[in-house]
Amino acid sequence: MFDKIHEHEQVVFCNDDKTGLKAIIAIHDTTLGPALGGCRMQPYKSWEDALEDVLRLSKGMTYKCAAADVDFGGGKAVIVGDPATDKSPELFRAFGQFVESLNGRFYTGTDMGTTTEDFVHSLKETNCIVGVEEEYGGHGDSSVPTALGVMYGIQATSQMIWGTEDLSGRNFSIQGLGKVGEKIALRLIEEGANLYVTDINPQAVDAFLSRAKSMGAAVKAVEEHEIYSADADVFVPCALGGIINDDTIPQLKVKAVAGSANNQLLDIRHGRMLMERDILYAPDYIINAGGLIQVADELYEPNKDRVLRKTRAIYNSLLKVYQQSREEGITTVEAANNYCEQVIQNRRYQNSFFSHMKRPKWAVRT
Ligand code: NAD
């Protein structure tokens, strides 16, 4: 793990006895701008587990920001604690003070185990908080641009496989009908697609089925484990990570996997297994970047059109990745990572030219 620490610009351990705060902030790379990444709260078994998670996630954010063309670098924070029992307003204020001590090098917001309400407390100590509700200066529900970006990604995937963006008559299997999955499912119905859906929450399934019925759509609900073998053209994972693995890949009948879930591949080698089965994989951090694009846009006055325009670019980014993967015989994840490393390297070169100039305004945001 200590090898990985040397890949990072800065790692900050945060302890506050009064509030019980134990957290780690990792800044991986600020070539593209100040680090941006959510703050997870989880009852990690040890500091080592927390450190491993934050190092991995912050590096992932560097790539995600590069792919989404936002003026941020990669960072992440983890709070060690049980979200159900260990939260308090004081704890999140203390966390805000640590974020503030980084003087604009790190921006954060919600992630697993934390909510926008938690960060309203942090906002009292620092302005480096993004993604809160509109009444607190945020830009609102990020699942809207996330779902839209996934739809552009599905169209790009369709273009790559079938030479058309037309989704009518195609079959999609959707795992998870939450904030993002439901929006994608409704858009696919509007496009004339047929759906298999599943969710561990029966109410979410029932609500969706009655909505789909009123739209005259062809939708079949299946059991949780049946979604992998559904007779679909595209699998759209919108729930958990790690669902593309040794058990599920042999079950897939689809030609593509394109959905919003984070960390879909259990392991990087599963990208190659998909390729060997001729299943096109849309790298998750590219296709699900719509929410990040909206959050990053909070540096400026709200402008939904700008967010939508940048989200639309997911279509071309994915096509480039697909083409590079095909030309070079590498997986789409390898192609995506190469593309991001190139973006960062180019910016390093430009930064070395302009290093005599002042850093842009976000560096001194008050
Ligand atoms: P959500 O919590 O609103 O929805 C997730 C849904 O998945 C829930 O309805 C849940 O019941 C269901 N689910 C959980 N386990 C399941 C299982 N085993 N099988 C079937 N369904 C299951 O979350 P969301 O905001 O819609 O996000 C969905 C995914 O997309 C997550 O992986 C998230 O990390 C990722 N993502 C979300 C955003 C965003 O803007 N919300 C941005 C990027 C990535």
Kindly report which listed range (79-83, 272-276, 283-287, 358-362) carries the lowest average pLDDT score.
358-362
Q: How far apart are CA 268 and CA 170, in angstroms?
A: 28
Tell me the average pLDDT across 224-233: 98
Which of 65, 132, 146, 284 gets mutated to test ligand 1 (max ligand atoms within 8 A of its CB)? 146
Contacts of 111 (CB under 8 A, 6+ apart): 37, 38, 39, 40, 76
Q: Are strands 171-175 and 194-198 parallel, antiparallel or unpaired?
A: parallel
pLDDT at position 276: 97
- Ligand 1: atom nearest CA of 237 is 29
Q: Which of 219, 214, 176, 217 is nearest to 195 (CA)?
A: 219
State the pTM of this model: 0.89
Structure tokens at 16: 């506050």
| Higher pLDDT, residue 279 or 218 | 279
Query: Would you state the pLDDT for residue 3?
Result: 64
Task: Classify residue 126 by its DSSP letter.
Answer: -
Amino acid, res. 248: T
- Distance between CA atoms of 286 and 134, rounded to whole angstroms? 25
Expressed in angstroms and rounded, the spacing between residue 317 Cα and the centre of ligand 1 is 23
Read off the pLDDT band of 261 (50, 70, 90). very high
Catalytic residue among 76, 87, 255, 310: 76
Please state whether beta strands 21-29 and 10-16 pair in parallel, antiparallel, or not at all (unpaired): antiparallel
What value does the mean pLDDT take over residues 10-17? 97
313-334: pLDDT as tens digits: 999 999 999 999 999 999 999 9
Centre a 10 Å sphere on the Cβ of residue 143 and count the other Cβ atoms it contains. Answer: 20
Predicted confidence (pLDDT) per residue in 189-209, tens digit? 999 999 999 999 999 999 999
**Pocket mutation for ligand 1, best pick of 115, 199, 201 (most atoms within 8 Å of C-beta):** 199
Provide mean pLDDT across the span 335-347.
93
What integer best gives the mean pLDDT of the chain? 93
The Cα 216–Cα 55 span in angstroms is 47
Q: What is the pLDDT of residue 174?
A: 98
Q: Check pLDDT > 70 for residue 243.
A: yes
What's the residue count for the chain? 366
Q: How far is the CA of 262 from the centre of ligand 1 (A)?
A: 9
- Residues 96 and 123: their CA atoms lie apart, in Å, by 7
Distant-in-sequence, close-in-space partners of 252: CB < 8 Å, separation ≥ 6 = 228, 229, 235, 277, 279
Looking at residues 138-150, what average pLDDT do you find? 91
Give the CA diameter of the chain: 62
Average pLDDT over residues 296-310: 87
Is 366's pLDDT higher than 50? no
Task: From the CA of 204, give the closest atom in ligand 1.
Answer: 9
**Lowest mean pLDDT: which of 208-217, 224-233, 291-300, 348-357?**
348-357
- For the stretch 67-111, pLDDT in tens is 999 999 999 999 999 999 999 999 999 999 999 999 999 999 998
**Mean pLDDT, residues 27-32:** 95
Assign 350 a pLDDT band (cuts: 50, 70, 90): confident
**Ligand 1 atom having least distance to the Cα of 289:** 43
Residue 122: pLDDT over 70: yes
Is 179 considered catalytic here?
no
Q: Which of 33-37, 81-85, 87-91, 298-302 has the lowest mean pLDDT?
A: 298-302
Secondary structure of residue 217 in the 3-state scheme: coil
The answer to whether residue 231 scores a pLDDT higher than 50 is yes
Contacts for 337 with CB less than 8 Å, ≥ 6 apart: 63
Q: Which residues are registered as beta bridge partners of 53?
A: none
Tell me the C-alpha distance between 49 and 1, whole Å. Answer: 10
Residue 145: pLDDT band with limits 50, 70, 90:
very high
Give residue 348's pLDDT band: very low, low, confident or very high (50, 70, 90).
Answer: confident
The per-residue pLDDT for 303 is 84
